[in-house]
Structure formats: C-alpha cells, structure tokens
Chains A and B, each alone.
Chain A
Amino acid sequence: MRLIVILILAAFWSEPILAQRVEYTLNMRMDGRHELFTGDSTHIWGFIEIGGFGSEEKLLLPSPTLTATVGDSVIVKVVNVSDEGHTIHWHGLDVDQENDGVPHTSDFVLTGDTFTYRFKATHAGNFIYHCHVTTTLHLMMGMYGSFIVYSNQPDEIYPGGPRFDRQYDFLGSELDKALNDDFMTGGMPYSDEKRHFLLNGLQKQQLYEASKNRIELHKGERVLLRLINIGFDVNDYHFPEAVQAIVYTSDGRPLPEPFETVNLQLYPGERYSVIIETDEDDFKGNIVVNYLKMYRLQYAETNHIGINNDVYPVYIGEQADSRNTGLHIFPNPAINRITVQGLSQDVRSVQVFDTKGAQYLLPINKAGEVDVSRLKSGFYLMRASGSSSLSGKFIKR
C-alpha cells in the first residue's frame, strides 16, 4: 500500500519536477548598429537580454535566441527603454490572447512600461518571437529572434523523435538599408533594390566566414538544421547531392511522414527541422539558399552555408553588389535552355561554375541561347567568357 501511495505521489510530482520555469528579462531598444557585408553599417532595433551572457550592451541582429524545454513554464519580462511602443508575438507557440502580443487584441508595452509574458512551451520545435507593432517596419528594423523548444532528451528533435549529434539554427530575414538608415524617410520596404537578404543577420561572405554558421558534418553523424524564415520572401534551400536531407517537423509539429528532399522552400513564417547526413569521407560542400520574391517566385539573391568548408564559393568575378551583374538570364530556374541578355554579339561562349567551383564552357548562339540540359540540377554562376565584369546566376532544374 505504501508503495502504491509513493508511486501515485511520484506520478503527480514528476511533471512539475521535469517541467521547469524559464525566465528571461529583455529590454526593448531602438539604438543599435549592424554591420553589413558591404562594410557599411545601419540602424537596428531589437531585444537585448538583461543579465544574459555577453548581452550587456550591444544590440544584435537577430535578437538573442531564447530557449526552453518542452513542458516548461516560460516567463519573459520586457522593459521598454525605447521611444516607441512595442510588443512580442510568440509566433507558433499558440499562447493565449493576453500574451499574444498583438496591439489591437492584446497588450501594448509603451515607453517606460514593463510587461510580463507567461505561457507554456507545449511542443518541442522551432518558433519565432517578434514585435507586432507596425510589424512591417519593426521587423525590418530587426525586432525578432528565434525561440527554440528542446525535447526532454537533449539529442532528440521531439519526445520520442529522431536523434541527432549536433545542431545549427538558421534564421532567414531581410533588411532594407534605406529604411533602416532613416525609418522616417526611408519609405516602406517594397523596393527590392536596396534589400539585404540575411541568415542569422549575416549575408554572403560575412555569413560564410562566421564559424558558428559553418556546419560540421562527418560520415556517420546526424546533424539537425533548424530552419526558420521571418522575412518577406521565400527561403529556397538546396542541399548538396552527397548530403541526405530528411525533413522531420514543420512549425513545431512532427510530420505525419518524414520525407527526403534536395530542395526545401520556407515561406514567410514557416519553420522546419531537417537532419542531414553524408556517406562521404571528408565531404566538403555548400547549402545554397536562394531568396525568391512572393510575386512569380522571381529570384532575388543567394547565400551559402558551408559544410566542412571554409572557402567562400562564389567569388568568381562577383561584385560586392551582386545585383549589379549586367546579365539578364531567363527563364530562371531553367530546364534545358536559357537565354542571356546583356552580352555583346561577338561573345561565343560563357563560363558556368557550380557551387563546388567546377567550371564548364558552354557555347552561346546569336540569339543569346545556351543549352544547359547536360548540367546537373543546382545553382550556377555564369560569367561572360573573356569578361570579368559581366556575371549572373541561374538555377538548373
């Protein structure tokens, strides 16, 4: 009888013991600077953790990643030390209305005010927190970060789910320098001309060279990628051929059937958990992340994530501003044939490079057409043969 009573009490107590209370205190600020890959810097807003490791002074883009374990009670106290009102919306965490962070249905944290958000982390997975005040502007200014809910077992995606050896988070977003430089006169972020396409707040070689964003993957290991998109465009991930990528969760929920893929598109607000493996010894390669606009899925920009690779792959005549490349390539993506505009009539061939740097010389006819049918599927850079200034990019399907 005594044993039964003990077991019953243990059953009741086990959940509160396992479920912890996680507390954060965040300041809402509007006085940050962020360095771009061009060497310029621009103005950012964001959240800064008070008392958190290394977060005492400088606003970071994105804001710090907050974490909890499934079942935890989460308490986040925010202090608005900025000149405007803000909130936090807990994107995907399905919190109650009071804690939802939408000004016209929930609370609004005015200058000098504090507010305490309380909710339970009910599902393991990848989530986002962001300001929901004048959201287009406040997001573009940088008021967002990842919120990761871990499983009870630190090496599984969700309770009872697949296990992994190592994990990396990638948060896609965008920044419009004109707007960030002066949000009063910079206009709304409709223009693609001055947009910067970011992963973990970084872009191009700046992203590639940050060691924390370089994936370490060895034969026999399972590496978890937490992919999150808080931007306005589609994040279009292409995995290398030698990497097996299996998608296990989306939006903090296990998929009914995990699936293997070479290409994964994240629309704005979506999140995925993907485990990658390789059978190759000493594999080196890159994950290509294209940014596609929501109208016609037009290609806008590319970032690369290195896997065991520290040589940035695309500095082959590429200019600092890759949009100023001079070549118009269509259709893009292409299947068998592309047309290239912007070349002089005397150009008879183009150089094409894959993401590993392999080079192909392809003939181009007088109509500007290039046969790409023999290329493998993937992302390619093109340079006009004999020219160092004209370059372009295309995707072969």
Chain B
Amino acid sequence: MRVFILSLILFFSFSALRSQVKYDTAYLNSGYLHIDHEDIPLALFTESSRFDTVDRVFHASPGETLHLTLYNLLDFDVEVGCDLITETVIVPAGGNRTLTITTQDPGGYGVYAQNDELKYYGLSTVLRVAKENQHNYVWNLRAFDKEANRRISEGNTPDFDAFTPLIFTLNTEAFHVNQMNMRGMVNGNVNDSIYITFAGSNIMHHAPHFHGYHVEIIHSNMENHMIGWSKDSFPLKRDEIITVLLVPHQPGTFPVHDHNLISSTTNGNYPGGIMGMLHIMP
C-alpha cells in the first residue's frame, strides 16, 4: 500500500513537472512583404522553413519553461535574446540553437535579434505569457522605410538619420478599408476579459488609440508608471511591449489605431497602416 501511494505521488509530481516545460521551434527566415504594389525585403521569425509574412508569436503559461529551438535559414549568424533572460544564443547560419526561457509573471516579452538593424528588419517578436483559456491577442507594430530595408537586404548599413517610414504594419500587414487587416481583428462579447499585447517592434514610438472603450494597462516589459491606469490612448515606446485588458461595456465594431496618424497610412493613403478592429457582440 505504501509503495502504491508513493508511486502515485511520484506519478503526479512527474506530471506536474512535465506540464511546466514546453518545447517550441521557429525559423529565422527572409522574404518579401508585398504591400501597395511594392515588395519590401525583411526577415521574420516564421513557423516553418517556408517563408510567410506571419510573425511567429510564442506562448507559455506563467511559470512554464520554454525551450525554443531556432533554425537560422539566413546566410549569416544571428544573436537572439529574450527580455526574460540575460543569456543570448548565437544561431549560426544554416544551424540551430535552443534558447531556454523560464517564464514568470503574465505579460508580453520580447524575443529578438540583438543587432538593432536586424531587429528593425523584422527579427523581433513576442513571447506571450498567459493562461491558455483567455482571449489573448498580440499586435506587433512596425514602421518600415523601404530604402532602409533595401540597404539591409543588400548587406549595407541603413541611414537611420534619414529614416522616412511610409509603410506601417500591424502583424506585418497594413489595413485597407476594402480588405481589412484580418491579423488585427479582435472578437469578443460584452463583459469578456480580452487581453491585447502591443509590441513596438522596430524604431518608432507609437500611440495606440481605442475607439469605443477605455482599457486598463496591466503589464509592460519596461518600467512603466501607467500600470493600473484606465486609458483610451497611450504611449508605446520603441521596444516596449504593453498588455492591456479590455472589458467591453457595449457591443459594436470599433477601430484601434495609431494616433500618430501618419502611422495610419500606407504610402500616404488613409486609412491604412496601423489599424486593427474590435468586433464586440452583445
């Protein structure tokens, strides 16, 4: 009987330990973003070895340890790190390395190339630490200067002093009124708890604005004095990742957009660029 009880304890302990470890993979990949009849070169963390423009977002539960294996399909080495750990890994061209990340509190954390140019070029994504049964959305905001991307793709140094972004994306896609950004849609019901994580992924600062609702700022990967504030417009600084809680008090379809309104354009056309939509049912 004693052996049986001991076995049960061991079994449950082992199961508990197993549930706190997670394995995931991603590819460091390059390709083109096709926006407004233009092809803009960039590099992203992708789900498979075949390039697509969907950012690979990583998920873990609070307290879980994530073993993230990165395969580098680029023709140069890339050093990758994460906000939650001080160690980085250098992923050799054509090779792979595993980044081990022990998660702590819920929130959004950056996973990104340590080189600023590559981070700007697209190698910057989010590890979302949250309970699995929540409404969780991640919106990655970027501003691209076509000339800077072209120079990086050719192995040259971009001139960031002359930075003039004309392409603004939310999850690597620009809003268009006739073809809304399906990667920037939030669906929910009145009184749901909806968590949206905003990432200011390259070198611009942003100012997301919610129509129809105020949200509570609940987490930032940086020191942020606005935690706990109720806001409809808030700063999202360069490299900052902010998680907000939306509890809708009314139904409706409302936009969420950058109120630096230049970022709500694509090549000068409004509405475009950084704009998502909320679809809240009664």
Contact B177 A104 (CB under 8 A): yes
Q: Between A and B, how many residue pairs show CB distances below 8 Å?
A: 123
Note all chain A residues with C-beta closer than 8 A to B268.
Answer: 187-188, 190
Partner of A105, one of B164, B228, B254, B264: B254
Q: Is A320 an interface residue (CB 8 A)?
A: no
Contact call B234/A267, Cβ cutoff below 8 A: yes
> B264 near A136 (CB under 8 angstroms)?
yes
Contact yes or no, A268 B211, CB < 8 A: no
Decide yes or no whether B189 CB sits under 8 A from chain A. no
Number of A residues, CB within 8 Å of B? 40
Find A95's partner among B163, B212, B270 (CB 8 Å cutoff).
B212
Q: Is A270 in contact with B261, judged by CB distance below 8 angstroms?
A: no
B213-235 contact mask (Cβ, 8 Å, vs A): 1 or 0: 11000000000011011111111
Binds A, one of B50-58, B78-86, B202-210: B202-210
Q: Could you say which residues of chain B place their CB within 8 Å of the CB of A251? A: 214, 230-233
Asked if B92 CB lies within 8 Å of chain A CBs, one says: no
The distance in angstroms between the C-alpha atoms of A235 and B239, with both chains bound, is 21
Band of interface residues on B: 35 or more
Query: Which chain B positions have C-beta within 8 A of A135?
Result: 261, 264, 270-271
* Contact indicator B212/A100 (Cβ below 8 Å): yes
CA distance A271 to B228 in the complex (A): 17
* B104 CB-CB contact with A under 8 Å: no
CB of B106 closer than 8 Å to a CB of A: no
CA distance A190 to B143 in the complex (A): 13
Whether B265 is near chain A, meaning CB under 8 Å from some CB there, is: yes
Is residue A2 within 8 Å, beta carbon to beta carbon, of the partner chain? Answer: no
Q: Contact: A255 with B260, CB < 8 Å?
A: no
User: Is B252 on the interface with A (CB-CB < 8 A)?
Assistant: yes
Q: Please tell me if the beta carbons of A97 and B212 are within 8 angstroms of each other in the complex.
A: yes
Give which listed residue, B204, B235, B261, contacts A265 with CB less than 8 A.
B235
Chain B, Cβ-Cβ closest to A97: B252
Known contacts A100-B211, A104-B271, A259-B225; decide if A190 and B262 are in contact (CB<8 Å): yes
Q: Which residue of B lies closest to A127 (CB)?
A: B232
Whether B211 pairs with A232 at a CB distance below 8 angstroms is no
Name the prevailing secondary structure of the B interface residues: loop
Check B193 for interface membership: any CB of A closer than 8 A. Answer: no
Contact of B265 among A188, A233, A256 (CB under 8 A): A188
Distance (whole angstroms) from the CB of A62 to the closest CB of chain B: 16
What 1/0 flags go to B234-274 for Cβ under 8 Å of A?
11001000000000011111110011111111001011000
Contacts of B253 in A (CB 8 A): 97, 105
Bound-state Cα–Cα, A91 to B166, Å: 25
Contact with B along A34-67 (1 / 0, CB 8 A): 0000000000000000000000000000000000
* Docked CA distance A65–B277 (Å): 29
A13 near B: Cβ within 8 Å?
no
A296 to B203 CA separation, bound complex (whole angstroms) = 7
Chain A proximity of B187: nearest CB distance (Å): 15
Q: Which residues of A contact B271 (CB under 8 A)?
A: 104, 135
Pairs A–B under 8 Å by Cβ, sample size 29: A92-B232, A94-B214, A94-B250, A95-B212, A96-B252, A100-B211, A100-B212, A102-B254, A105-B252, A105-B277, A136-B261, A136-B262, A187-B268, A190-B166, A190-B262, A234-B205, A250-B229, A250-B231, A251-B231, A251-B233, A253-B214, A253-B230, A267-B233, A267-B234, A268-B233, A269-B233, A269-B259, A270-B231, A296-B238
| Residues of chain B whose beta carbon lies under 8 Å from any beta carbon of chain A | 143, 163-166, 177, 203-207, 209, 211-214, 225-226, 228-235, 238, 249-255, 258-265, 268, 270-271, 277
Other A-B pairs beyond A100-B254, A268-B261, 14, CB < 8 Å = A91-B233, A97-B253, A97-B254, A100-B211, A135-B261, A188-B265, A232-B262, A234-B205, A251-B230, A252-B232, A256-B229, A268-B260, A270-B234, A295-B163
